[in-house]
């Protein structure tokens, strides 16, 4: 590439920025930490200024932040060319960076990853777990190659609806309603409500809108694990999607909730640029999965 910048240097910058350190970047790239350091240093000589802060937490400098979108685009294009070539030699290959919310990572992706490994052994999938509202931004900026988005409107062309996931009441097992086949949200009015401030908040508000009631949560919790632990401790109740079943301890239960509100889980590549060919292969392999 012109100006003395090459793909190895750009890959090193992206890996250091995304992993937060030279050692972790070396593991991601499969090279030595020294090689990563030399590649970043060579990039800095080529552009004439530091691209990462090396003191304290390793992070991009303002110049590094400006270079990152272009570095991601360049490395993604190079990977796509390699994958297209590999496809003609015997199927898709390469690494796909896939973003998904925590409930999808635990409740849906383990099965999909097994299917993908069997169907496309030359494709490696790296998972990026994030909040619902982060995923579309990561996809748009090129931080990831694909994402499982929640209720995208409109869904990008070529995307696949993986599942329809319904909202459930999360109760401690000794709660008076824990043995019921369904729970009406009105029956939880006397309980302290724990709200996860992730992407499910709008679905919970929709439930209360349908019954014409004000929604006033008692506690606001950012971390889903903390919320589950608090329900398990008897501090209150909550509402979570059915896919959260893999995260729920034995002392709690998920029960279908009325009014019924669902979310659509859609596997897609970016809307504004060509997809990594391996993403296309993964979408074609993943059949729609029934929701809860």
pLDDT digits (tens, 9 = 90+) for 97-145: 999 998 899 889 999 999 999 988 888 999 999 888 789 889 988 889 9
* Residue spans in the chain of domains classed CATH 1.10.10.10: 1-75
Average pLDDT, the chain: 88
CA 93/CA 115 separation, integer angstroms: 15
pTM of the model: 0.68
Q: Retrieve residue 86's tokens.
A: 């590999």
Q: Residues 152-157: contacts with CB within 8 Å, 24+ apart?
A: 152/264, 152/266, 152/268, 155/266, 155/268, 156/268, 156/269, 156/270, 156/271, 157/271
The CATH code that applies to domain 165-263 is: 3.40.190.10
Q: Retrieve residue 139's tokens.
A: 């996809």
Residue with tokens 């593991």: 27
Residue 240 has pLDDT above 90, yes or no: yes
Q: Which residues pair with 100 in a beta bridge?
A: 129
CA quadruple 79, 80, 84, 89: dihedral, nearest 10 = 20
Domain 1-75 has CATH 3.30.230.70: no
pLDDT digits (tens, 9 = 90+) for 31-88: 888 889 999 999 999 999 999 998 888 899 999 999 999 999 998 888 777 767 766 6
* Residue spans in the chain of domains classed CATH 3.40.190.10: 165-263
* Contact present, 224 and 245 (Cβ < 8 Å): no
The pLDDT assigned to 61 comes to: 95
CA distances to 83, 153, 156, 258 from 160, rounded to whole Å, are: 21, 13, 9, 27
The pLDDT assigned to 1 comes to: 43
């Amino acid at each position: 590439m012109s100006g003395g910048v090459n793909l190895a240097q750009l890959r090193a910058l992206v890996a250091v920025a995304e992993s937060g350190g030279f050692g972790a970047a070396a593991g991601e790239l499969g090279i030595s930490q020294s090689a990563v350091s030399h590649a970043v240093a060579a990039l800095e000589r080529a552009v004439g200024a530091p691209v990462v802060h090396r003191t304290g937490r390793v992070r991009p400098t303002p110049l590094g932040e400006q270079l990152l979108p272009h570095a991601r685009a360049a490395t993604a294009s190079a990977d796509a060319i390699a994958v297209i070539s590999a496809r003609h030699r015997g199927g898709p290959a390469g690494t796909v960076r896939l973003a998904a919310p925590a409930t999808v990572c635990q409740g849906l992706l383990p099965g999909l990853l097994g299917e993908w490994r069997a169907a496309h052994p030359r494709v490696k999938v790296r998972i990026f777990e994030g909040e619902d509202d982060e995923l579309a931004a990561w996809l748009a900026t090129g931080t990831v190659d694909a994402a499982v988005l929640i209720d995208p409107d409109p869904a990008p062309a070529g995307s696949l609806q993986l599942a329809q996931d319904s909202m459930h009441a999360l109760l401690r097992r000794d709660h008076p309603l824990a043995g019921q086949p369904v729970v009406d949200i009105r029956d939880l009015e006397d309980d302290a409500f724990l709200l996860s401030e992730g992407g499910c908040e709008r679905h919970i508000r929709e439930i209360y809108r349908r019954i014409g009631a004000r929604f006033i949560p008692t506690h606001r919790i950012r971390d889903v694990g903390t919320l589950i632990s608090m329900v398990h401790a008897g501090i209150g109740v909550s509402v979570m999607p059915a896919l959260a079943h893999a995260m729920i301890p034995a002392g709690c239960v998920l029960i279908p909730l009325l009014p019924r509100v669902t979310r659509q889980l859609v596997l897609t590549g970016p809307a504004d640029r060509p997809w990594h060919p391996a993403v296309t292969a993964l979408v074609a392999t993943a059949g729609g999965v029934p929701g809860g």
